Amino acid sequence: MVFRKPPDGGWGWVIVVVSFFTQFLCYGSPLAVGVLYLEWLDAFEEGKGKTAWVGSLANGIGLLASPVCSICVSSFGARPVAIFSGFMVAGGLMMSSFAPNIYFLYVSYGIVVGLGCGLLYTATVTITCQYFDKRRGLALGLISTGSSVGLFIYAALQRELIELYGLDGCLLIVGALSLNILACGSLMRPLESSSSPQPEKMCVDKVPDQYFVYHEKEKTIEENISILEKGYIDEKCVNNVPDCKQDNILNKNVLSSINVNEKDSYKKKVVEQTNFCKQLAKRKWQLYLTYWKETMVLFKNKVFSALFVAILLFDIGGFPPSLLMEDVARSANISEDDYYMPLISIIGIMTTIGKLILGILADFKWVNTLYLYVTTLLMTGVALFAIPFAKSYLTLAMLSGILGFLTGNWSIFPYVTTKTVGIEKLTHAYGILMFFAGLGNSLGPPIVGWFYDWTQEYNTAFYFSGFCVLLGGFLLLLAALPCWNACTSQSSKLPPNTYSYKVASNT
């Protein structure tokens, strides 16, 4: 398929709008799952750690399966994947309304909805990058705010729906709203040249004949020859009886020679096919070895290794508040009359603001993006330590706003990764980091919930969360100090294509 040059506009703005609403519709409920978390605690009467697995799986499984999602979008295209994933998200939400126990929710809400969100995120980012080049950063920034706006609106929406229609009715309505993803996906027109000529052959047609897997009818050469022989002899016998016997002998000799030649040709093709499979397997194995060698080279970069630890610890400690903040307020005996806005909604709107402001700051030449990212980690750790001391709605709302703003550091994380490993290794490194980010998202809320089940209070849980985030931030700060550059310059040269982060300011 021949692609045109990205238009940086035109239908691309339609892609931005539908991608925004796609992320809004698919991530709204999973990110605002803290409202549903309270209802599931009362409905199934399971432990907080056990129940927290539902929301953590829904938010982490998409990151864990990011390699599979990328393969699906590359193989089938953004539009088919978006439409199929819309059915997954809507179906998973509707199935969750009939959940008889918490284990059913692990599959219907955690895995099905989570995997659908991961596929949709990959599809929206891919199709947006195809339509934009010069304005790609702006376009990606706009669509990424869809999830944060979804968190802000769905937190209040789901609470209102639960009061009106109950938990089951809420999930059915939210699932029905998610069907609008199908309309958004249908508008994700692939960017291809309409005037380009049709390709002469598909890729499969360009493979030599000896590399094909032969059909069953081609393997039964003897059966085909016997049928031809029988039909030819019968025809001759009907038309000319005296010559029937003579032609029969002649045809048997000719067809037997053809039979031998076909058998030899078939055996030759089988040998060639076997050799091709061996060469293909050897090449695949070499690619895997190369991948692991490049991975080891990445981890020789001290800043990348520290970044890997930091993102894992940040998601273990920094993600639980977005899921558990409503239960924290209930545990602190805060009256519902004091609620002016759901705490999760505050986190959502401040995350949107944080993404925009931190993204703008990262574009300034005098701002070092790595130090900016480390600052957000350290401030997040301090805010988590302050949660146990918040005993009123106002203080919890302020901490929710601070945590939401700092969580917007996701917008500068690609900048940090690029500066650390270089643009050539960005895809490889980012995939590894996102996998462990998903692992942290999946483990964080259950760990905090288990701390509550063990101690019957959230203080120890958030001390642990704050310690994890602070530890990751300090490790990354130590790895990025200028003294590492001095040590690196005195040591042996790095392997080819390896990049070390320059911590000095660009001014």
- DSSP reduced 3-state for 42: helix
What are the pLDDT digits (tens) for 232-256? 445 445 445 445 445 555 455 554 5
What pLDDT does 204 receive? Answer: 42
Q: Find all residues with CB under 8 Å of 233, minimum gap 6, and list them.
A: 244, 247, 248, 251
Q: What CA–CA distance (Å, rounded) separates 25 from 18?
A: 10
What pLDDT does 298 receive? Answer: 78
Helices 244-299, 221-239: axis angle to 10 degrees equals 160
By percentage, how much of the chain surpasses pLDDT 70?
74
CATH class of 277-483: mainly alpha
pLDDT higher than threshold 60 for residue 79: yes
pLDDT higher than threshold 50 for residue 208: no
With cut-offs at 50, 70 and 90, classify the pLDDT of residue 260: low
What are the pLDDT digits (tens) for 417-476? 777 877 677 667 777 787 888 888 888 888 888 888 888 888 888 899 999 999 999 999
With cut-offs at 50, 70 and 90, classify the pLDDT of residue 264: low
**Ranges 23-37, 147-161, 327-341: which has the least confidence:** 327-341
What pLDDT does 217 receive? Answer: 41
In this prediction, residues 94-114 reach a mean pLDDT of 93
Residue found by looking up tokens 């000529």 in the block: 197
DSSP letters along 207-219, please? S-GGGSPPPHHHH
What pLDDT does 109 receive? Answer: 94
Domain boundaries, given as residue ranges, for the chain: 1-193, 277-483
As a whole number, the mean pLDDT across the chain is 77
DSSP letters along 111-159, please? IIIHHHHHHHHHHHHHHHHHH-STTHHHHHHHHHHHHHHHHHHHHHHHH
In this prediction, residues 36-59 reach a mean pLDDT of 88
| 3-state SS record for 475-499 | HHHHHHCHHHHHHHHHCCCCCCCCC
What pLDDT does 330 receive? Answer: 82
Residue found by looking up tokens 């691309």 in the block: 12
**Ranges 219-233, 261-275, 283-297: which has the least confidence:** 219-233
Does the domain made of 1-193 have the CATH classification 1.20.1250.20? yes
Q: What CA–CA distance (Å, rounded) separates 278 from 272?
A: 10
DSSP letters along 365-402, please? TTS-HHHHHHHHHHHHHHHHHHGGG--SHHHHHHHHHH
**CB-based contact 37:323 (threshold 8 Å):** yes
DSSP letters along 329-377, please? HHHTT--GGG-SS-HHHHHHHHHHHHHHHHHHHHHSTTS-HHHHHHHHH
Residue 292 has, within 13 A of its CA and on its CB side, a CA count of 5
Q: What CA–CA distance (Å, rounded) separates 22 from 39?
A: 26
With cut-offs at 50, 70 and 90, classify the pLDDT of residue 268: low
More confident residue, 280 or 72: 72
What pLDDT does 432 receive? Answer: 79
pLDDT higher than threshold 70 for residue 207: no
How is residue 315 written in tokens?
């998601």
More confident residue, 399 or 484: 399
Q: What CA–CA distance (Å, rounded) separates 382 from 466?
A: 7
Q: What CA–CA distance (Å, rounded) separates 65 from 55?
A: 16
With cut-offs at 50, 70 and 90, classify the pLDDT of residue 227: very low
In this prediction, residues 82-100 reach a mean pLDDT of 94
Q: What CA–CA distance (Å, rounded) separates 449 from 444?
A: 9
Task: Give the end-to-end CA distance of the chain in Å, rounded to a whole number.
Answer: 44
What pLDDT does 166 receive? Answer: 92
Q: What CA–CA distance (Å, rounded) separates 405 from 353?
A: 6
pLDDT higher than threshold 60 for residue 401: yes
How is residue 14 written in tokens?
């339609």
Residue 427 backbone phi and psi in degrees, to 5: -60, -45
What pLDDT does 103 receive? Answer: 92
What are the pLDDT digits (tens) for 162-200? 999 999 999 999 999 999 999 999 999 887 654 444 444
What pLDDT does 195 receive? Answer: 47
What are the pLDDT digits (tens) for 340-360? 788 888 888 898 888 888 877
What pLDDT does 284 receive? Answer: 65
What pLDDT does 505 receive? Answer: 34
More confident residue, 391 or 507: 391
pLDDT higher than threshold 70 for residue 144: yes
Helices 48-64, 11-31: axis angle to 10 degrees equals 160
Helices 114-131, 48-64: axis angle to 10 degrees equals 30
What are the pLDDT digits (tens) for 470-500? 999 999 998 887 755 544 444 334 444 443 4
What pLDDT does 302 receive? Answer: 85
In this prediction, residues 205-212 reach a mean pLDDT of 42
